[in-house]
Amino acid sequence: MSEYSPLPVPPMSIRFDPAAGTLSPEGPTLTRRMSDLEGLFRDRAAWEQAVADGDPVVYSVVSSQVPEVDRELPQSITTIQPGATGGELWMTKGHQHPNHQGEIYLGISGRGGLLMFDGAETRWVEMTPGTIGYMPPGWAHRSINIGSEPYSFLAVYPGGAGHDYGWVLEHGMGLRVLAATDDNTAANGNTGTDTGVEFVAYSGD
């Protein structure tokens, strides 16, 4: 993760400009390209091709100045671009909080999904502007853009929560989220007004 100021901040208001995707005052910003998502897509050849074809930005995270330390309550806004690689919709890396602490997301724009996995069960929350998604302690979480526009959400989380990416590489997320093909849409009994996503088990990899 990027560097966070260790200094405490005073009470403050923070402005978000949705068009520019910036926070003011601003904290650290993180950009994740396709090459940063190694080992996460089911179709490794398609991932390699996407890296070779310009290594696109998949998502970015802008944070406020609130530090990631115990008892603070940092926030960040993540914007995931629309796209799919090997049929798998573009997503965040996903992580578990090492200390099993909760977190909330608030949908800001676009359409997304919040995939949660506790090592045994998987949960899916569809995120539209105004949706609050709640991640209880112990549930790893990944966000997915399921629409054709950028998907942005605000995250608010305990400063000491941390990011364990190895947990997801080891355990997966239970399900993968694919763009539904017409065939799949029909097979699932969906009408076309549905989410347009198809879930497949990680165990099928």
Least distance from ligand G6P to the Cβ atom of residue 140, Å: 9
Q: Which stretch binds Fe ion (CB under 5 A): 13-21, 100-108, 176-184, 186-194?
A: 100-108
Among the listed ranges 4-12, 18-26, 88-96, 118-126, the one in contact with ligand G6P (CB under 6 A) is 88-96
67 interacts with, out of Fe ion, ligand G6P, none, CB within 5 to 8 A per kind: none
Do the beta carbons of residue 93 and residue 36 sit within 8 Å? yes
196 backbone φψ class: left, alpha, beta (φ>0; ψ -120 to 50): left
Among 65, 92, 96, 145, which residue sits at the site for ligand G6P (rule: CB under 6 A)? 92
- 132, 106 in Cβ contact below 8 A? yes
* Strands 57-63, 75-80: pairing kind: antiparallel
Site membership for Fe ion, residue 103 (CB under 5 A): yes
Q: Is 97 in the site for ligand G6P (CB under 6 A)?
A: no
Query: How many other CB atoms sit within 10 Å of the CB of residue 120?
Result: 7
Omega before 129 cis (within 30°)? no
By CB under 6 A, tell whether 152 contacts ligand G6P: no
Reduced to 3 states (helix: H, G, I; strand: E, B; else coil), residue 195 is coil
Of 42, 163, 164, 190, the one binding ligand G6P (CB under 6 A) is 163
**Binding ligand G6P by CB under 6 A: which of 58, 61, 66, 178?**
61
